[in-house]
Amino acid sequence: MEFARVVVDPYTIRARLFPALIAALPLGIATLAWFPNGLFGWGPVWVLFAWSGGTFLLSEIGRDAGKRKETKLFALWQGNPTIRLHRHQGVVNPQLLARRHAQLAALTGIGKPTAKAETADPGAADRIYEAWCNILRDRTRDRKQYPLVFAENTSYGFRRNLWGMQPLGISLTILGLAAVALLPGLDPSARATPRIGTVVVTGGINALLLIGWVFIIRPKWVQTVAEAYAERLLEASERLPERRSRTST
């Protein structure tokens, strides 16, 4: 009997699965401290976990955590970065903005809002910009043709989902730290050399993970790559009209 091979795409692995694995990492590290020689026979367990859909479940948990909190991120950033870059308000390069508006209007068939119209009804203008962005994303999904868009989108998905899992990650890291800290008191052999070295190292790694969760994985850390992704997506519009026109001839 043959079992179908599950193929997981690179985005799912990097942006969805990795954040969930990082959140669970402190428990795995604590387990190493408690059972330094007892993990080698667990191979079949991990194979069964992966085959039964465990890795897919983790990737879905990572995705859901990020998507649930994405609205909060956009509120902190005063809007979706890809939409903000289309706005007349606060534009840095009006000439480039006008060029891209003209390109996207021609590409999508959706008329471009003027600065006056945007000021009069910002919501209506944002809905047009959102439609442009959705079409751009749909037409730049080929990661071989648009590698920079794919790379930045993956980075954004990874950071967003990791930030979404921050409460769980902090809780599991504290739990892992506590498990390592209690080990020498509960198991006298853990105070002897060389096992005490394992306790110190695993405790130190979990402490560093906690620092990372608290001080590094912040909305600003996510915003950096979100804006980079928005820039790469808009830059792709420079290529789309020419590619479409050649295809239609």
* pLDDT single digits (tens) 76-89: 999 999 999 999 99
What's the one-letter identity of residue 209?
Answer: L
Confidence of residue 163 (pLDDT cuts 50, 70, 90): very high
Contacts of 222 (CB under 8 A, 6+ apart): 73, 156, 159, 160, 163
- What distance, in Å, lies between the first and last C-alpha atoms of the chain? 50
pLDDT(240) > 70 = yes
CB-CB contact of 156 with 149 (8 Å): no
42 pLDDT exceeds 60?
Answer: no
CB 110 within 8 A of CB 128: yes
What is the per-residue burial (b if ≥16 Cβ within 10 Å, else e) of 61-100?
bbbebbeebbeebeeebeebbbbbbbbbeeeeeeeebeeb
The whole-number pLDDT of residue 5 equals 46
Q: Give 164-204 pLDDT, tens digit per residue.
A: 999 999 999 999 999 999 999 998 888 888 889 989 999 99
pLDDT, position 193: 83
Q: What's the pLDDT score for residue 38?
A: 58
Per-residue confidence (pLDDT) for residue 249, from 0 to 100:
33
| Residues 58/21, Cβ–Cβ less than 8 Å | yes
- Among 7, 27, 32, which residue's Cα sits nearest to residue 173? 27
3-state secondary structure of 79: coil
What pLDDT digit, counting tens, does each position of 214-236 carry?
999 999 999 999 999 999 999 99
Which residues are within 8 A (CB) of 118 and not within 5 positions of it... i.e. 6 or more apart? Answer: 87, 88, 89, 125
Query: What are the domain boundaries of the chain?
Result: 10-240
Query: Per-residue pLDDT for 212 more than 60?
Result: yes
Asked whether residue 15 carries a pLDDT value surpassing 50, the answer given is yes
Q: Percentage of the chain surpassing pLDDT 90? A: 71
**CA distance linking residue 11 with residue 208, whole number of Å:** 27
d(CA 128, CA 117): 12
Q: Which single residue is written with the structure tokens 């991990």?
A: 46
